[in-house]
Amino acid sequence: MEDGNERKVSREMLDMADRGMSDEVLNCVMPYIHDSKDRDAVSLVCRRWYELDALTRKHITIALCYTTTPGRLRGRFPHLESLKLKGKPRAAMFNLIMEDWGGYVTPWVKEISNYFDCLKSLHFRRMIVKDSDLELLAQARGRVLLVLKLDKCSGFSTDGLLHVGRSCRNLRTLFLEESQIVDKDGEWLHELALNNTVLETLNFYMTELAQVRFEDLELIARNCRSLISMKISDFEILDLVGFFRAATALEEFAGGSFSEQSDKYTAVSFPPKLCRLGLNYMGKNEMPIVFPFASLLKKLDLLYCLLDTEDHCLLIQKCPNLEFLEARDVMGDRGLEVLAQSCKKLRRLRIERGADEQEMEDEEGVVSQRGLMALARGCLEIEYVAIYVSDITNAALECIGAHSKKLCDFRLVLLEREERITDLPLDNGVRALLRGCQLRRFALYLRSGGLTDVGLSYIGQYSPNVRWMLLGYVGESDAGLLAFSRGCPSLQKLEMRGCCFSERALAVAAMQLTSLRYLWVQGYRASETGRDLLVMARPFWNIELIPPRGVTINAPDREPVSIEHPAHILAYYSLAGPRTDFPSTVTPLDPASFLTL
C-alpha cells in the first residue's frame, strides 16, 4: 500500500543522498515507489539513484514499441517482472490502419526468451503475434509466466495458444480480448483445462473462437477454485449452466449468446458473487434473469445486447450499486436520466454509437445535452465519460464543468445524424468544462463549425494536465492550431482527424508542444510534396507517412463499396532510429532526400 509521503521525492531524502545515504536504506525505500512518473523522477536525481531504479523497477509500459529496442530495455532493466508493449496506432481499433503496418512482437519475444529471467507478466496490445512467437515464449518462460495478455492482437492461431495451454501451467491470467485469431480447433482450451489449477482470469471476449467446448469450460471451473473472471466468445448460455454451477467464486462474466426463443433461460442460475456482467444478444424476454442479483452489480456491459430504450431504463433502475456502465446510445436521454437517479456510485460511463439505420435501433435511442446534464447533476462520483451524442449545447458542457469534480477522462463525439445542432460553436462550453474539471485525457470530435479558432485556443489554455488528446473537426484555420499548441504543457500524445490545418502548421505545432512525443493525424491540408512537414524534422523524431488507400467494404447482399481513406502522418520520438520493418505502403520521411531536388 503506497503512503502518500513516500510517493514524493522529499527534501529529506535529497539531503540524505548528499550526505551519502547507504544503498541499503535506498533499497528499502525504492520498492515502495510504484508510480511510473515518480520512478521517472527518481531515476533523474543522480547516477546512483538511476542505477538503483534500474535494478528495482518492476513494471515498464512502452507506449510505442518502435521508440526503443529490446536490447536497450534489457540493458537498463534486466530484472523486469512485468512489461506492456503497444504497437499499432489507436486508429487500428477503427479499421483505419492496414493489417501489416507493423508492431511485431518477434524481436521482443526473442529477447525475453534469452534474458529477462524475472519476467512474469506480459501484455501486448495492438501487435502482430505469430504462432512461432507463442511457441518460443511457452518454451522459454512457460513455467514462470503468470500473466499473458494478447490484447487486440492478430497474426496467430489456436495452434499458438495450444503451446500456451500446454506449457504455461502457472498462468493466472490469459487475456485474448478482441484479438483476431485463426480458429482451427478447441484443443488449446482443453489443454489449459487439463494443465492449469490456478487460473483466475480467462478472457477471449470479442474473438471469433467458435470451437471451444463447454465441457472444457466446466473443467476449468471445477479445477480452478480461484476463477474470478470469465469472458468468452459467442456461446449458447443454456450450455453454460454446468459452468455457472461449478464456478462458485466467479465475480465477472461476459459473452455468451441467447439464441433460443425459449423460457428455459429462467432455469439459469448465476454464481453468488457475480457483480460484473455482460450478456450478448440478451433481449427483453431474457432480461429478467438478471433481476435477482441486479442490486449486486458493479459493472454492466450492454454494448452487445438487444434491448430498447425502455428495457435499459427498467434494468438500470434495479442497479443502485453500479460503478461502470457500457451501453449503446439506444439507451437514450431517458436511460441517462434513470441512471442519474438510480446509480449514485457511478464512476465510469461509456456510451457507444449504435446502428445508423433508423429501423435497427429504438427511435428514442438518442443521447443529447438533456441526458448529459442529468448525468452531471446526478452522478457526482463520475471519473470517466466517453459518449456519442446526436446533439449538444454549451450549457451541457458548462454543467459538467460545474458538477463533475472527479472527472479526469472525458471523450465526446458528435454524431453526423442531425444536420442542425442546437448550439454551435462550443467554445464557451469547452472552456467551462476544462476549467471545472482536472482532465488528464480529453477527446473532442465535432464537425465543421463545432469549435472556432478561439475555442481551440481555449483548449490550449485550459488543459494544464492533459496528457492525451483526440481532436476531430475542430478549429477553423492554422491560427487556431498554432494558438492551441502554445498551451497544453503536459500533452504527450496528440491524435487529430479531419483537420483543416496545413502541413506547415501541423509541423510548427508539433515543435511548439513542449511535452509532445507522439503525433497522429489523418485528414489535413497536404502540400504537394509533403516537404512542409520537414519543419518538424529533428534528431530522434521519426516521421512516417501512411498513404491513402482504397478500402473495399463488403457487406452481405450488396455490391462491395470502395471508399478512399486519406493519408496519415505518424510522428514520434525514438531512440531506435527509423523503423526497418515497413510494409511497402508506409513511407518514412527522409529529410536528406529533399536535398537532392
Partner 1 sequence: MQSAISKINPDLLKTVIASGSVSQAPKNNPPFASRNSLSVPSTPKSDQNYLPALPVYSPVFRPVSAETTPITIFYNGTVSVFDVSPEQIESIMKLALDGSTKTVEPADSKLAIPPNEEQQLLETLNGDLPLARRKSLHRFLEKRKERLTSVSPYPPQIRYAVSDQEKITEELFRA
The residues of the shown chain that bind partner 1, judged by CB under 8 A, are 91, 93-96, 178, 206, 258, 261, 280-281, 283-285, 303-304, 306, 308, 328, 352-363, 413, 415-416, 445, 497-498, 500, 522-526, 528-531, 545, 547-548, 550, 555-567, 587, 589-590, 593-594, 597
C-alpha 271/C-alpha 229 separation (Å) is: 11
CB of 531 to partner 1, least distance (A): 7
Closer of 6 and 581 to partner 1 (Cβ): 581
CB of 397 to partner 1, least distance (A): 20
Closer of 180 and 465 to partner 1 (Cβ): 180
Closer of 3 and 263 to partner 1 (Cβ): 263
Closer of 224 and 415 to partner 1 (Cβ): 415
233-263 as b/e, with b when 16 or more CB fall inside 10 Å?
A: bbbebbebbebbebbeebbbbbbbbbeeeee
CB of 350 to partner 1, least distance (A): 11
Q: What are phi and psi of 153, to 5 degrees?
A: -95, 175
C-alpha angle 379-385-386 in degrees, rounded to nearest 5: 145
Q: What angle, 0 to 180 degrees and rounded to 10, lies between the N-to-C axes of helices 369-378 and 332-342? A: 10
* The residue type at 265: Y
Burial class (CB in 10 A: 0-12, 13-18, 19+), 558: exposed
Comparing CA positions, the residue from 61, 60, 41, 90 lying closest to residue 494 is 90
Residues 6 or more apart whose Cβ sits within 8 Å of residue 558:
none
Closer of 280 and 342 to partner 1 (Cβ): 280
Query: Cell match 483548449: residue?
Result: 459
CB of 435 to partner 1, least distance (A): 28
Closer of 80 and 282 to partner 1 (Cβ): 282
CB of 32 to partner 1, least distance (A): 38
Closer of 6 and 352 to partner 1 (Cβ): 352
Give the chain's count of helices (H) and strands (E): 21, 25
C-alpha 22/C-alpha 33 separation (Å) is: 17
Q: Is 320 helix (H, G, I), strand (E, B) or coil?
A: coil
Residues 6 or more apart whose Cβ sits within 8 Å of residue 412:
385, 387, 389, 392, 443, 444, 445
Closer of 221 and 509 to partner 1 (Cβ): 509
CB of 96 to partner 1, least distance (A): 6
Judge whether 127 and 87 are in contact, CB under 8 Å: yes
CB of 537 to partner 1, least distance (A): 12
Number of Cβ within 10 Å of residue 593's Cβ equals 10
Terminal C-alpha separation, the chain: 61
CB of 529 to partner 1, least distance (A): 6
CB of 382 to partner 1, least distance (A): 22
Closer of 515 and 593 to partner 1 (Cβ): 593
